[in-house]
Amino acid sequence: MPPKIVLASGSRYRQQLLSRLGIDFESCAPDIDETPKPQESPAELAMRLAEAKAVALTKQFPSALIIGSDQTAACGDTLLGKPGTIQRAQEQLRLCRGKQVTFYTGLCLINNDTGTQETSLTPFSVSFLNLSDRQIERYIEKEQPLDCAGSFKCEGLGSALFEKLEGQDPTALIGLPLISLCAMLRRAGLDPLD
């Protein structure tokens, strides 16, 4: 009997990505503090939160494979979060226009049956077009990306914002690097192709 799989997230984007693998799983949003620590880099923050999310569910789901993932975005030295408001989304996209933004997606898989844990970090870079204020306003009006780090959804109209994308796993940009996850699941004894 295959192990129970738990996605330590309430994100509908991560749930949709994991559904692509055709495996049964349960989602549970852990209650963790996502506040960055002083001097913590975006990559370090993504890794710490991915691990904290998975660890937070270990007592609740014994014998399960628990997947934790978190994503941060940075434009230069500026950490970009989920905007939450239209005004903040406009500010973020104005900051990003004509620049490169790097997304860091942390991944943690805990095998609660064996007590093992594996982590990885997948960076992905996006080069923005030099967008006008009107283009930014229209994009936000159409997509409402207020719950997305960096204020865009690459799986929708967000593609119109970019000059180019660079990275090994495009699913990392959405929030769950499936290539790395599949490798981790296989090492844990669960091959999505079986």
Q: Would residue 26 count as lying in a domain?
A: yes
Q: Are 66 and 109 in contact (CB under 8 A)?
A: yes
pLDDT of residue 180: 97
Is the pLDDT assigned to residue 9 strictly greater than 90? yes
- 192 inside domain: no
> For residue 44, which of 68, 70, 67, 76 has the smallest C-alpha distance?
70
Is 13 contained in some domain?
yes
| 194 part of a folded domain | no
Query: Do the domain assignments include residue 118?
Result: yes
- When the pLDDT of each residue in the chain is averaged and rounded to a whole number, the result is 94
24 is catalytic: no
- Are residues 7 and 70 in contact, defined by beta-carbon separation less than 8 angstroms? no
Domain of residue 110, CATH code: 3.90.950.10
User: Which is catalytic among the residues 70, 147, 169, 191?
Assistant: 70
Indicate whether 183 belongs to any domain. yes
Which residue in 180, 153, 163, 187 sits closest to 50, CA to CA? 180
Per-residue pLDDT band for 96 (boundaries 50, 70, 90) equals very high
- Assigned domain for 193 exists: no
Q: What total number of domains does the chain contain?
A: 1
Domain that holds residue 176: 4-187
Confidence at residue 150, expressed as pLDDT on a 0 to 100 scale: 87
CA 91 vs. chain centroid, Å, equals: 21
* pLDDT (tens digit per residue) in 99-143: 999 999 999 999 999 999 999 999 999 999 999 999 999 999 999
The reported pTM is 0.91
Distance from CA of residue 6 to its chain's centroid?
16
